Amino acid sequence: MGYKNILKYLFLLVFTLSSFVGFSQSKKQQELEERRQELSREIKQINDLLFKNKSQKKSQTSLIEDISYKVSVRQNLIKVTNQQANLLTREINTNQKKITELRDELQTLKDNYAKMIVTSYKSKSEQSRVMFLLSSSNFQQAYKRVQYINQYAAYQKEQGEAIKIKTVQLQETNTALLKQKEDKQKLINDNRVAQKALESDLQEQQSLMTSINKNLNNYTAQIRQKQNEADKIDREIEKIIRDAIAESNKKKGAPATSSAASTGFALTPEDKILADNFVSSKGKLPWPVEKGVVKLRYGKQPHPVVTSVMIQSNGVRIATEEGAPIRAVFNGKVLAVQAIKHGNLSVLIQHGNYVTVYKNLSKVYVKKGDNVTTKQEIGQVFTNPSNKETILSFSIFKDSATQNPADWIFKM
């Protein structure tokens, strides 16, 4: 490999590595920006859905749940914004170092180019070149001298092109640096606003917690009572699903004592296709409401207000706007419409051996056996007249086992 090719290889390698690092940083910055925008939208939805009309009377537990939720989202927003600003600081430092290096390289190239121009000027006459060739001791030496003259001229041209490239790189890096500094300042300003809002939320949270702590035993009893009521509703839903599983196996002729009959739906070929399509949409299913924020997530967790009390959630509770329509999250068949003994109306939709459950409805637009399509309106969520809270409870089952809806619903 010649000297010229080595230089080209090294330049390409350095350019590729620096481009990869820049791409990685840009990708990370883009991911952080997307997350920041998501959190900003979530805070707006929280304000619109939970704090829009402060004249509506809410219980202190509901208020503290709402404010605690908003505090956690705003803290995440500040954290992500700080991560963005820190990444930009690293990128700014990298670009400042790169600008220094480019300036040094450009100056070296210009100095070398100037020396070549002087040397060329001193020996530019045709007579000097002819004499240089005629003074060769043999033909081979003359041929090599011709090659040298041509290579020297080509090298001069390459140096001139290298100066142009380095100049453009320097200009582009300077432009990128200015943009990064502007972006960082905007993030700093946004974070100041978010921090101020967080301080206000924390003061309100602290004030509510002081009041709740005075009657902690009463609030603890209320929380446990609500958990018992939720458990009763869940048991009724689970019984409906178990009965449906048993019925499907009975129709197929599976022995009542078999493990399949006790744990899973007996599927027809059409049911199997539907279930496979449901699984292939995991993480991409639409929300069951057009606008909503998750107030309670799936699984066992400490209560957001009284953290010493553990609560169990078989699904998610989504706060939405009054009169919000409920939508089926996927194609399927209505398994049941149930007037729950300890709650409001519920709709269960079967998707092969998966079931989605929509609880706390005031109106239902479908009946058992109806085929439904994705995003079809199936009912309307109930609004509590005493505190104006509009909460949908949403669950997903695989046969009789609960699933985490956040794994299935898009960006939940």
Q: How far apart are CA 267 and CA 245, in angstroms?
A: 10
Residue 401's SS3 state is strand
Beta carbons within 10 angstroms of residue 181's beta carbon: 14
- Residue 307, pLDDT score: 84
pLDDT digits (tens, 9 = 90+) for 350-379: 999 999 999 999 999 999 999 999 999 999
Give the count of alpha carbons within 13 A of 389, CB side only: 20
- In the chain, % of residues over pLDDT 90: 48
Confidence of residue 10 (pLDDT cuts 50, 70, 90): very low
- What is the average pLDDT score of the chain? 83
Tokens read off for 34: 């997307």
For domain 216-407, give the fold: Glucose Permease (Domain IIA) (2.70.70)
pTM score, whole prediction: 0.70
More confident residue, 205 or 289: 289
Domain layout of the chain by residue ranges: 3-214, 216-407
Give residues with Cβ within 8 angstroms of 354, minimum separation 6. 275, 278, 279, 396, 397, 398, 403
pLDDT at residue number 37: 93
pLDDT value at 13 more than 70: no
Q: Is the pLDDT score of 313 beyond 90?
A: yes
Beta strands in 179-284 (DSSP E): none
